[in-house]
Amino acid sequence: MITFTGPKQPLLRYIREQRRVVAGLTDDYTAMAEAILDDHKRQWRSDRSVYLISSKVFWKRAGTYDEHGHRLTTDDDYVYVGDDDSVEGLATRIAHRVAGHDHRRAVTLLDCAERASPMVEIALAVLLYECTLEWDTDETLKEAARRLALQAAWDAHRRFTESSPLAIFLGVASEFGSSRMPADFAREWLSTRSEIEVWLTRNGIAWGDVSLPAKEAAERAGMAPASWSSITSRGLAPAEDHKNSRGAKSWRPATIDAWMVTTPRRRDSWNRTAQ
């Protein structure tokens, strides 16, 4: 039987430190941001421009976004400027560019970890139910899943490996010696939810999550509330996890994500990061 208690992961500490760096740089680049905005507003060719930042005092306009926007994906010395930008907003953007790719990648991996975490909850619940894992922590399922996902994200950051919710999930699963995909765990959860929940309660393991009412559940699933109500009533999406005394239904985020990863048209939405 596998246990999984481990050290606290350092990804959040790293991002907090980097954010302090960015905050300091924002103050340093305020005067430059103001000058760049004035220059941009004197241009008439485009509502968005791209500028080269080569030092704390030197900058120049590269051209329009249509002409030079591609530089933003490959070179941290370039920044875009739009008609609606504020001085503070542009100074922050310049600071993020100066902080570089490493910081932005860490933030992207944090997003991936947060997105993967509910599916890690599902995997933990299933593996515990199958008696593959021993619960050697006082954490809730949600707390443990988030810690494990963040640790996998930090490992990916150090190794420069792929950044996606799927990659983070597989990183966690590999720690348990499992090669099962998210959809494998999702199908097991959706078909045996009641049995797994009874087992968890009997063994004193709390989930620790907050269920979503129908409107928020529909939003998480990427559809209108009426559509969500329709497909759940027809059995095309999972029934509610909870129902209160007034009959209001609610769903775990993990249950919605489990449905998404087992639904071909929704699977890509689950694996998408908020970049």
- Domain borders along the chain are 13-99, 103-209+252-270
Select the more confidently predicted residue: 16 or 152: 152
The pLDDT of 180-196, averaged and rounded, is: 96
Report the pLDDT value the prediction gives residue 44, as an integer from 0 to 100.
67
C-alpha distances out from residue 95 to 30, 70, 85, 101, 126, Å: 10, 19, 15, 12, 44
C-alpha distances out from residue 100 to 10, 14, 23, 59, Å: 19, 14, 14, 17
The pLDDT of 90-114, averaged and rounded, is: 80
Please check the confidence at residue 236 and state whether its pLDDT lies above 80: yes
Please check the confidence at residue 170 and state whether its pLDDT lies above 70: yes
Q: Residue 231: pLDDT band by 50, 70, 90 thresholds?
A: very high
Please check the confidence at residue 87 and state whether its pLDDT lies above 90: yes
Neighbours of 180 (CB within 10 A): 14
Please check the confidence at residue 19 and state whether its pLDDT lies above 80: no
Q: Which helix (H) or strand (E) holds 74?
A: none
The pLDDT of 68-79, averaged and rounded, is: 84
Select the more confidently predicted residue: 103 or 116: 116
Whole-angstrom Cα distance, residue 190 to residue 30? 52
Packing angle of the helix pair 141-159, 11-28 (nearest 10 deg): 60
Please check the confidence at residue 8 and state whether its pLDDT lies above 60: no
C-alpha distances out from residue 83 to 38, 40, 75, 180, 197, Å: 10, 8, 22, 48, 53
Please check the confidence at residue 138 and state whether its pLDDT lies above 90: no
Query: Rounded to 5 degrees, what are φ and ψ at 201?
Result: -65, -45
Whole-angstrom Cα distance, residue 199 to residue 194? 9
Please check the confidence at residue 18 and state whether its pLDDT lies above 50: yes
Packing angle of the helix pair 11-28, 87-99 (nearest 10 deg): 130
Mean pLDDT of the chain: 86
Please check the confidence at residue 53 and state whether its pLDDT lies above 60: yes
